[in-house]
Amino acid sequence: MSGTGNRRRGEARRAGYRVQIIYTEPEFQMRNPQCPPEFSCSRHNPEAESPQEAVREAVDYFDLCAEHSAVGWRRIIKSVTVKPS
């Protein structure tokens, strides 16, 4: 079982998913015209069993980070892409 870690024989390796979130910060961008028109955030979830689970976890994490950022402007999600990793 070389290279399989804790997996049992015949058990498939889960690669998980990588999620990319494209978002804007309208109030910040209005005050800072030199900043980019969009920002991105990527999150890898090797334990996700489906693309939907990976997206849900990534968006929850994105929201948590926004809540704890201590800034007063909004972050608006423009797109979410998910790919197997």
Residue 59 placed within a domain: yes
Task: Tell whether the model's pLDDT for residue 84 goes beyond 60.
Answer: yes
pTM score, two decimals?
A: 0.80
Q: Which amino acid is at 60?
A: D
In a domain, 39, yes or no: yes
- Count the domains in the chain: 1
Q: Which domain holds residue 24?
A: 17-84
Nearest CA to 57 out of 13, 15, 18 is that of: 18
The answer as to whether 1 is a domain residue is no
Beta bridge partners of 39: 23
Domain assignment of residue 41, yes or no: yes
Residue 4 lies in a domain: no
Whether pLDDT at 71 is above 90? no
> What per-residue confidence (pLDDT) applies to 8?
54
pLDDT of 1 higher than 50: no
Domain contains 56: yes
Enumerate residues 6+ apart whose C-beta is below 8 A from 6: none
Note whether residue 49 is domain-resident. Answer: yes
pLDDT of 4 reads 45
| Average pLDDT of the segment spanning 24-44 | 96
- Of the candidate ranges 7-11, 13-17, 48-52, 53-57, the one whose mean pLDDT is the lowest: 7-11
Where residue 41 falls (left for φ over 0; alpha for ψ -120 to 50; beta otherwise) is: beta
